[in-house]
A and B are shown apart, each in its own frame.
Chain A
Amino acid sequence: MQSKLIQVAGLGFTIAYAAFIVWIYATEPRTFKEVTTSAEVAAGTYEINQEKFNSALSLFRREQFRAARDEWQRADPAQRDARTQFYIAYSFYREGWGRVYFDQELFKQGVEAVNRAIALSPATALTIDDPDLHMHTAAELKAELEQGLERSWSDVNPLKVLRTRK
């Protein structure tokens, strides 16, 4: 009877261990901290660091976009929070926006971030109620970023210098 118990327990334990190994190779964490973060995400207990998020928001409002992004990345290391990813995308938009031309590299990264934000909130359209922002939905931000990446004849229109940043 005891042998049977050992057999069942051994099978259960080793299958769980094998699943852990497959998960490790699939997620490829780079540090022990990333292992714990990924485990929290998998267990559904993951939360962003609110303090870092707020500090990033104040940097964003002071137009220190790179510093803000660094803080947001620290606040959401697993990139699992739609709101944080939306703000990261917005910081790429604001930094990359120019009266004469848009920084294509920053806009591309902005599209990647906003796509992450959209993917993280598939059930409802992501809306951010922040009075400092001119675009409140992820769809609006994505459209604006994608428009900035497109090349058209309107790019040579001299009147575009009059446009405003959102």
Chain B
Amino acid sequence: MTATDTNNRSRNRALVDFVVLPSLFLTVALLGGLRIGAESRTFIFIAPPLVTLLLAVLLMLLLVRGGLLTFHQWVRGDLPPLTNLSHIWMFITIFFASAQAFNSVLPERGLLHWLFSFCFLWTLWNNQFSSFDARRLLRSLAILFGTAFVLKHMLLASLYSPEGGWFKRVAGTLLQGVALGTLDAPAFAPATGYIAFFALALYVAGLILLAFAGETGVITHPVVDEYRQLSAAERLAVREAILDDRRDQPLTSPADD
């Protein structure tokens, strides 16, 4: 590798870490709370509700556990203060992007808001105790946000659209006589769904970029990655099990064959 290659790599890395990723996450923070009124066609900005901040905290913990955010590597005593500051700033942008990503797929009010919030809390809380690597975590998050997007912006939007969407007709036929008053939700213009889709796509793309930006170039076996995530006691148990397996194997030499 020539000096020019090294320089280019370093410049590109700096561009991604300090410009592209924070800008991308801030765009998610901007678009996540944006809705378009169904009748007035005007902007409606919805600040992240408190529950989305809680969900974002859980998600950040999950990102750290999954190895997507390597906080201990990004903020260190031996790095220049400006670099540490930039990395802390990026974590802040990821936090608010996460909160707004949840905000974009949560119904705004009513029973459905709390139902969706509870589902997210349950999923994220359960995931805290699962073994994750960065790739599996990314796949899981893409599916989580994708499902919530389909539920809110396709099924529910169709149910509450003033014109009466396809789902409203199906639900009307299936639930004849059942009032949907308790599942009250505001109706937004179809553009809201496009904005939310764009925001979520940017968020997941940002996380993928973050995973690649964090790679040091050394490719390790998934088993090694999983081993690194174990506690000290669990690592000791694994090592002992490997050694026990070796002891149990009969000693053979080429001459025996």
Interface size class of A (residues with CB under 8 A): 20 to 34
Q: How far is the CA of A30 from the CA of B36 in the complex (A)?
A: 9
Known: A14-B18, A25-B45, A28-B45. 10 other contacts (CB 8 A): A3-B11, A3-B13, A10-B14, A11-B18, A13-B23, A14-B19, A14-B26, A15-B89, A25-B33, A28-B44
A133 interface residue (CB < 8 Å to B): no
Which chain A residues lie closer than 8 Å to B30 at the CB level?
Answer: 21, 24
User: Do A18 and B26 touch (CB < 8 A)?
Assistant: yes
When A2-B11, A6-B18, A11-B18 are in contact, do A30 and B85 touch as well, CB less than 8 Å? no
Chain B interface helix/strand/loop/mixed: helix
Chain B residue contacts of A24, Cβ below 8 A: 30, 45
**A residues in contact with B19, CB < 8 Å:** 6, 9-10, 13-14
- Count residues of chain B with CB under 8 A from any CB of chain A: 27
**Residues of chain A with a CB closer than 8 A to B29's CB:** 18, 21
Q: A4-B82, A11-B85 are in contact. Are A17 and B11 (CB under 8 A)?
A: no
Given the known interface contacts A3-B11, A10-B86, the answer about A31 and B23 at a Cβ–Cβ threshold of 8 Å is no
Closest Cβ neighbor of A18 among chain B residues: B26
By a CB distance below 8 angstroms, the chain A residues around B22 are: 10, 14
A78 CB → nearest B CB, Å: 16
Main secondary structure of the interface of A (DSSP, over half): helix
Alpha-carbon distance between A21 and B92 when the two chains are bound, in angstroms: 14
The smallest beta-carbon distance between B84 and chain A, in angstroms, is: 11
Q: B236: CB under 8 A from chain A?
A: no
B171 within 8 A of A: no
CB distance from A123 to the nearest CB of B (A): 32
User: Please, what's the 1-or-0 string for B39-61, where 1 marks a CB less than 8 Å from any CB in chain A?
Assistant: 01011110100000000000000
Residue of B nearest to A2 (CB): B11
